[in-house]
Structure 1
Amino acid sequence: MSNPASSVVAPLNDALKRTINHRTKPNAFTIDVIINGLFRPLFHSKTLSTIATILSLVRIAGGLDNLRFLRDRKDLSGREKLSSLGADLAAGWSNSANRLAKWYLVLRILKTINAIGNRLVMDRESPRNIRWHEHVVVITGGARGIGGHVCKVLRQKGAKVVVLDLPEKSEHGLETLYVQTDVTDIKSLLNAKKQVEDKLGYATMLLLGAGIARHSFLLDTEEQFPHEHAKQVSEVNFHGIMATLKAFGEHMLPDGGVKDRPYKQAKNGWGGHILIIGSGAAYIELPANAAYNASKAATVSLHSSLSSELHAYHKVNNVRSSIICPLKIESKMTEGRMLDTHDQVLLPTLTIPEAAEKIIEILEGDKSRIVYIPRAMYVMSYNKMLPAWVVRALHISLGASDTFMTYAKEFRNHEQNIHQK
C-alpha cells in the first residue's frame, strides 16, 4: 500500500532541532574513560595485574615488615612459617582497613574464573595471532557507518575487505571488493559469495552489520504507517543475518560443516570469526522503536543458538562467535531522529569510530565474546530481572521514553524514516 504522506519531506520542528544529537567526537569524561584509563589495566595488563595482586596480598598479610620478620625467624620450620602466613592472611582478611585490597582480589579471582570458563567451554582453543594480510573479511552494511569505518581500519592493517550493501557503491571506496547485495535475498547473497570466492578466496571473518530502523507505533493503523515498512526492519536486521550465515558460514567449516566427516580442516584453512552487530535496544524497549527492538532481541538469541550449534553439532574449536550491543550511536541511521542522552557520564552517546575500534579489538582478540558499550549496558542488560514498574520509572526519570518518540509522533512518514539505503 502506498502512503502519500511518505513522499512529503517535512522540516524538523524547533524543539527537535534543539535536542537531537549532533555528536562528532567521543565524550572526554565518562565512566568508560575512567574505567578504561585507570581500572582496566589493573586487571588486563599482565604486568600491572601481577604487581597489584602481590601488593594486595602483602597488604593483607601485614605488610613487608611482617613478611620479612616471618622469613627471618629461626625458631619456625618452613611448614610452620606457611601456617603462620595463612593465619596472618586470615587475620588481615578480617581487617576492615584492607577493604580495597580484598575487593581487588575478589574481582581478580572472579575475572580469572570467567576467563578460564570462556577458554574451556566457549572457545576451547587458545587465541590465534591475527595476521590481517591473510584474512578475507566480509562486511554486510559496510557502505557507510560503523561497517564503513571498520573497513577503513582493516584495509590499513592489510586485510582484504569485502563490502556487501544495497547502494551501487560505498561512500568511502576503500574496500578490496564491493558487491551490490540485498541481504534479504539469498540468491543475491549466493551471487556475492561466488564473486568473493572467484576474486579473493574464502571468507575468514564475517561482520554482520546491515540494518535499518523505522520509527512508528505498534497500534498505528495501516493508513498511519503501513505494515510493510515495519516488516522490512526484521527482514533486514534478523532474516538478513540468517541468510548471510547460510551463504558464507560454510567457508569456515570443515567439508561443508557436517560433524561426522573424517577431516576437520576448515574449508578456508583457518576457521573463522562471526561478529554480529546487535544493539542495546534488545534489552531496553523504548517507544516508537518496536520493530527495531524486536529484531535486535532476535539477533541476540540467534547469536546464542549459533554459538551452541558450533559446539554441539559442528564440533569446531576454531570458529569464534561474538556479538556487540551498542546503546546509542550518532550515525546516518539515527541522524535527526535520536534525542541526546541526558546523562553523558554514565550513558554517553557513542561515535562511529568508538564502536568500530571495539569491533576490531574483538576480532583481534580472537575470543568469542558478548560485548556491551557503553559499560553501563552491562548493568542495564539485566533489567529483565527487575519489576516492570521499576524499569518504566527509570526510563521516565532518565527521559529515555522520548528518545525516538519525539521524532516518530510527527515524522514517522517522513521520507528519511522510510526510504533508508
Structure 2
Amino acid sequence: MNAPGSSYEPAPIYDSVDIDMVVKVLSQTAFSPFFTCFIPIFYVFQGYEFTNPVVLVPCLYCAAVSAFWLLKWISQLYRNQGSFFFKPEPLDWSEQIVVITGGASGVGELLANTLAVRNVTVVVLDINPIVTENHNVVYYPCDISKWEEVEAVSKRIIDEVGQPTMLVNNAGVVQGKLIVDLTPNDVYQTFGVNTLAHFWTLKAFLPGMIKNKTGHIVTMSSIMGFVGCVRMADYSASKAALVTMNESLRYELDNVYNAPGIRTTIVCPAHILTPLFSTVQLPSNRFFQFFAPSVAPVTVVKEIITALDAQQSRTIYLPFYANLSPALRMIPSYLRDLCQKLSGADHSMRNFTKVTARRPDEEDLSVANGKE
C-alpha cells in the first residue's frame, strides 16, 4: 500500500516476486535432478577425474536431490495405489457430478464456473444463489449446518441430477471475536458451517461413493487448523477438527469400507483474497509480503482441479510457508512466539468486520459500518 500523496507506482514484476516464485524457480533448477545431473557431466567434459571433489560433490548433491524426489514420488504412488509402470486412465470430466458447498462466492464460485467450462455437472449448495451463465451449474438453496436440510436436499440431488462423484466441502464462516465476546449463535454458526457441515455432507453423499468404490472428497481446512491467534479461537478450532477428520476418513475408507479408490484431498491455505477475510489487516511491509503472500482464489482452484484430474489424494498447503505451519508446535516456545510476532496474526483481526454469512440476529452491516 502506498502512503497518501505518494507518487510511487508499483512495478508489476517486482511486486509479484515472493518466496513462492523463488521456490518454483529453484525446484526447476537447483533442486531439479535433471538440471543438477548436468553439473558433474560438465566438469567431466572439461577433463576432471571422477574422483576430483569438483565432480564428486555435485554427484553426491544430485544423488541427494534425486533421492528426495524419488521418495516423494514413491510416497504418492503408495498413497494412491499407483503403478510404477502405468498411469491411471484419464478422468472423464463429462461423467462427473461435483457438489460444492459455499459455491456462491469466492473460491467455491470460481471452482464451480471453472469446472462447468469442462462440461462438468456442478451442484452448488449455498444459502445464496450463484451468479453464473453456465447451464450445467445447478443451484440448491441449503443451510449446510443443519442435517435436516442437507438430508432433504441430498435426496433431491441424487434423484434429479444423479449420484455425486466428487464433493468439495468449501463453505466457511469467520466471526473475528474474542472468546468471551462470542455469542452462542456465533459459536454454533462457526462449528455448524466449518465443521458439522462436513459430517452432514459425508453422511449424505459418501454411501453412494462407497457403493461405487470411486469418488473424491475435498476438505477445505486452513493453516489456522495448526495454529491459534487472537480473535480466531472458534475458527481455528473448527478447522483443526477437519485435519483429523480427513485423516480418520482416509483410514475408514482403506480399512473398513475397502474403498481406497475414493480419494481424499485436504487444502490448508493461508490468507485467500476472498470476501471472507476482506477486512483483515495484514502487515504491508516488504518482508511480510515476500515471505507470506496472500493467495489468489485462482491458485487454490488450480491446485484443487489438478488433484481431481490426477485422481490422487493430496495435502495442499498454500502458499509455500504454509508447509511449515504443522511444525510450529514442535519448535521452542521463544521461536514460536517470534513467528507469531512477525506474522502480525494477533493484530490482523483487531478491526475485522464480518461481511459474509451474516445472520438475521446480527446488526445490519450498513449500520455497523456507520458506527465505526
Decide which of 83, 100, 121 is 1:160's aligned counterpart: 121
Q: Which residue of 2 aligns with 1:250?
A: 207
Decide which of 227, 250, 255 is 2:184's aligned counterpart: 227
- Asked if the contact 2:273/2:294 (under 8 Å) is kept, the reply is yes
Give the secondary structure class of the aligned counterpart of 1:323. Answer: strand
Q: Which residue of 2 aligns with 1:329?
A: 272
Higher relative contact order (Cα pairs below 8 Å, separated by 6+ residues): 1
- What amino acid sits opposite 2:22 in the alignment? I
The offset of 1:98, in angstroms, is: 5.8
2:197 matches 1:236: no
Distance verdict in 2 for CA 1:166–1:100, change over 3 Å = farther
2:121 matches 1:133: no
Decide which of 39, 45, 52 is 2:26's aligned counterpart: 39
2:197 matches 1:216: no
Q: 1:32-71 to 2 correspondence within 5 Å?
A: 32-36=20-24, 38-41=25-28, 51-52=34-35, 54-56=37-39, 58=41, 63-64=44-45
- Asked if the contact 1:164/1:178 (under 8 Å) is kept, the reply is yes
In 1, the alpha carbon distance for the partners of 2:275 and 2:132 equals 14
* Aligned structure 1 segments of 4 or more residues deviating by more than 4 angstroms: 96-101, 412-417
The offset of 1:134, in angstroms, is: 1.4
Q: Which residue of 1 aligns with 2:7?
A: none
Give the secondary structure class of the aligned counterpart of 1:63. Answer: helix
In 1, the alpha carbon distance for the partners of 2:77 and 2:330 equals 27
Q: Which residue of 1 aligns with 2:346?
A: 401
Give the secondary structure class of the aligned counterpart of 1:381. Answer: helix
Deviations 1:342-401 (A, max 9, x none): 411111011222221221122112211111000111123210101233212221133232
Decide which of 89, 104, 111 is 2:69's aligned counterpart: 111
Give the secondary structure class of the aligned counterpart of 2:268. Answer: strand
2:317 matches 1:345: no
Q: Which residue of 1 aligns with 2:321?
A: 376
Give the secondary structure class of the aligned counterpart of 1:212. Answer: coil
In 2, the alpha carbon distance for the partners of 1:187 and 1:173 equals 30
In 1, the alpha carbon distance for the partners of 2:327 and 2:169 equals 24
- Asked if the contact 1:56/1:105 (under 8 Å) is kept, the reply is no
Give the secondary structure class of the aligned counterpart of 2:291. Answer: coil
User: Which one is further off, 102-111 or 198-207?
Assistant: 102-111
- Asked if the contact 1:170/1:178 (under 8 Å) is kept, the reply is yes
Decide which of 314, 319, 325 is 2:262's aligned counterpart: 319
Distance verdict in 2 for CA 1:249–1:341, change over 3 Å = farther
- What amino acid sits opposite 1:286 in the alignment? C
- What amino acid sits opposite 2:250 in the alignment? S
Distance verdict in 2 for CA 1:310–1:416, change over 3 Å = farther
Q: Which residue of 2 aligns with 1:297?
A: 240
In 2, the alpha carbon distance for the partners of 1:372 and 1:97 equals 36
The offset of 1:253, in angstroms, is: 1.0
- Asked if the contact 1:143/1:172 (under 8 Å) is kept, the reply is no
Identity of aligned residues (%): 23
In 2, the alpha carbon distance for the partners of 1:302 and 1:165 equals 22
Query: Can you give the 5+ residue segments of structure 2 that lack an aligned partner in the other structure?
Result: 5-11
Q: Which residue of 1 aligns with 2:168?
A: 207
In 2, the alpha carbon distance for the partners of 1:316 and 1:329 equals 33
Q: Which residue of 1 aligns with 2:224?
A: 281
- What amino acid sits opposite 1:304 in the alignment? E
Larger Rg: 1
Deviations 1:270-299 (A, max 9, x none): x11111111111122111111001111111
In 1, the alpha carbon distance for the partners of 2:57 and 2:284 equals 35
- Asked if the contact 2:33/2:66 (under 8 Å) is kept, the reply is no
2:323 matches 1:366: no
The normalised TM-score by structure 2 is 0.83
In 2, the alpha carbon distance for the partners of 1:308 and 1:207 equals 19
Give the secondary structure class of the aligned counterpart of 2:237. Answer: helix
The offset of 1:99, in angstroms, is: 4.9
The normalised TM-score by structure 1 is 0.74
* Count of residues in Structure 1 that have an aligned counterpart in Structure 2: 342
